[in-house]
A and B are shown apart, each in its own frame.
Chain A
């Protein structure tokens, strides 16, 4: 009992840490963003009104509150620019996630099937690109994809094309960049689920008359769904808000919401609208997060 008491107090404080983190680094900043999204632009520093000044007393704060409005959100739904960037973001994220799944699943499956001593090496190979700066890697892709870049040289040398293909500033280049950057986030959770799977389940399936292909679809795949879900969300959510990759690799024809946000914030100096767009983006991402949480809970519940 005394031993438990010794550990009880620090343990309780430690349990607060994640909540404290959430409040300090998520809820509080989000509160600021939310407040700005309800404000109006002004040519001032900071570039919006009203400002809450606690020194001017209760009445001033009440007046400031009355100035807040949902006008910016009204703008978001009435202006095609925002709606189309949201839709494009969702479309790009869904497409990229599907491509990532199609490429990542076989890789993760192959890794999980490797002899035990090769698996850590394979995992290292997946992680190694992170040792180089993300931006440098994207610039490297610009180099590879440009008119006289490596990709075109190879294609020409193999006589697959007769004239250089335009890659840069196309959606293809953007998808290549996204898939390349996010592949580890898809592979790792999938690998974790597949490597954990009991090999005797496949033997049992085979013993009960399932061909290897059927055994995969009837046993391996359904049991890997939690990994599929985790990998898909781990990729989908940041891709929706992706800014750098589409900005550097895609054409300027249509924008993803991250680019629109950047434009509003830095070029247009319209902080309130940019904030409103950010809040709307977050609201857009809540349903898939809740869905993931429910899936996770269900699999956890089954495991327990």
Chain B
């Protein structure tokens, strides 16, 4: 068993937020208030079943005030159902949802202090931009002058000045998205729920909008919960990400931890690209594990942070952690026995601009993917198909996961 499929365009984009957002892996989100013990939102063992299908399965989660939290998962994993339960459009079959310590089960959707931005925007087609944004404010029975001020504020916030009189069908997709955002922000909700807010935008617009959303969230100090199936989007924007599968949270972690320290094989495969070697733990000595794998021989890996429960494990290595060389690396005095070396032949070279992805067919028959950053314009040190190479990586670059 060589490598698991997944996204192919991972490395440079994923690295970006790491330098942007200061964070302590696994620690609290930057804006979280240490003095405040009650999380803004607490989800306790919530389930929702449709017929025989369990969309959300005894899920628990805390979200702190000021966080930008992403629910990431494949379609049908229950993330949208969870969001709709927060908005009040679905009722949990079991469990509790606490907002500021108060159970919101009996609170009707139109009385909840949360607002939602819909995937299709759900703008009222018969109302112009101004009236769409003012809709929620009028329901809050604000004074006319206050409504006008707030609408003007929102219009400026999403840069739609001069468009107030337009109807939704006279706007571009990006402008509609902004109206939807302004409308959901206008009531200053305790939590803003965003259901795939950027899915309908093209790639360039999506990227710039991601940055704007982050900037907006930071400026307003509001709590955002975003649902997305796009891991890049989640990693770019969120402080913390909850990865969902089959109605359960597989892992809740910072983008960096999710990528560098996935807790399960499923997460490792879903977030980014990964090479996986199945094997058995052979020995264990001073925080080193030796795993004998079927396809990669004996691999030395660092002892994982959370103890593994069985001897049947998978060793995961991200493609950018795999180095290639013509000969084996110069043995380090201490680690000479520990450096993992896999010999094979380059079968495929994909030049992607910022990086090049090599597929190396090992002598065992398995394929290892290595992505190497193109740091020099005139790089002499490239490999071509058919060339014999050594793929190597250090024990610390591996993650051991229960199989």
- Tell whether, in the assembled complex, residue A210 and residue B169 are in contact, meaning their CB atoms are under 8 Å apart: no
Contact residue among A209, A219, A223, A302 (Cβ-Cβ distance under 8 Å from B110): A209
Contact residue among B110, B116, B126, B169 (Cβ-Cβ distance under 8 Å from A222): B126
Q: Is B115 an interface residue (CB 8 A)?
A: yes
- Tell whether, in the assembled complex, residue A208 and residue B118 are in contact, meaning their CB atoms are under 8 Å apart: no
The stretch from B133-141, B232-240, B248-256 touching chain A is B133-141
- Tell whether, in the assembled complex, residue A204 and residue B118 are in contact, meaning their CB atoms are under 8 Å apart: yes
Q: How far is the CA of A90 from the CA of B123 in the complex (A)?
A: 39
Q: Is B96 an interface residue (CB 8 A)?
A: no
Contact residue among B118, B122, B139, B183 (Cβ-Cβ distance under 8 Å from A214): B139
The stretch from A109-117, A195-203, A244-252 touching chain B is A195-203
Q: Is A207 an interface residue (CB 8 A)?
A: yes
Which A residues touch B126, using CB under 8 A?
A: 222-223
- Tell whether, in the assembled complex, residue A302 and residue B139 are in contact, meaning their CB atoms are under 8 Å apart: no
Q: How far is the CA of A208 from the CA of B139 in the complex (A)?
A: 7
- Tell whether, in the assembled complex, residue B136 and residue A208 are in contact, meaning their CB atoms are under 8 Å apart: yes
Q: How far is the CA of A214 from the CA of B116 in the complex (A)?
A: 19
Give the nearest-CB partner of B141 in chain A: A209
Which A residues touch B87, using CB under 8 A?
A: 203, 207
A: number of interface residues (CB 8 Å): 22
Q: Is B120 an interface residue (CB 8 A)?
A: yes
A215 → B minimal CB distance (Å): 8
Q: Is B167 an interface residue (CB 8 A)?
A: yes
- Tell whether, in the assembled complex, residue A203 and residue B110 are in contact, meaning their CB atoms are under 8 Å apart: no
Give the nearest-CB partner of B139 in chain A: A209
Which B residues touch A223, using CB under 8 A?
A: 125-126
- Given the known A-B contacts A207-B109, A207-B116, A208-B139, are A302 and B89 also in contact in the complex, defined by CB atoms under 8 Å? no
B45 → A minimal CB distance (Å): 25
- Given the known A-B contacts A209-B140, A209-B187, A210-B139, are A204 and B110 also in contact in the complex, defined by CB atoms under 8 Å? no
Which B residues touch A303, using CB under 8 A?
A: 169
Give the nearest-CB partner of A201 in chain B: B122
Which B residues touch A205, using CB under 8 A?
A: 110, 124, 135
- Given the known A-B contacts A203-B109, A203-B118, A302-B167, are A208 and B125 also in contact in the complex, defined by CB atoms under 8 Å? no
List the interface of chain A (C-beta within 8 A of B).
198, 200-201, 203-212, 214-215, 218-219, 222-223, 302-304
> A207-B116, A209-B136, A219-B124 are known contacts; what are 18 more A-B pairs with Cβ within 8 Å?
A198-B120, A203-B87, A203-B89, A207-B87, A207-B88, A207-B110, A207-B115, A207-B136, A208-B110, A208-B136, A209-B139, A209-B140, A210-B110, A210-B135, A215-B110, A218-B135, A223-B126, A302-B125
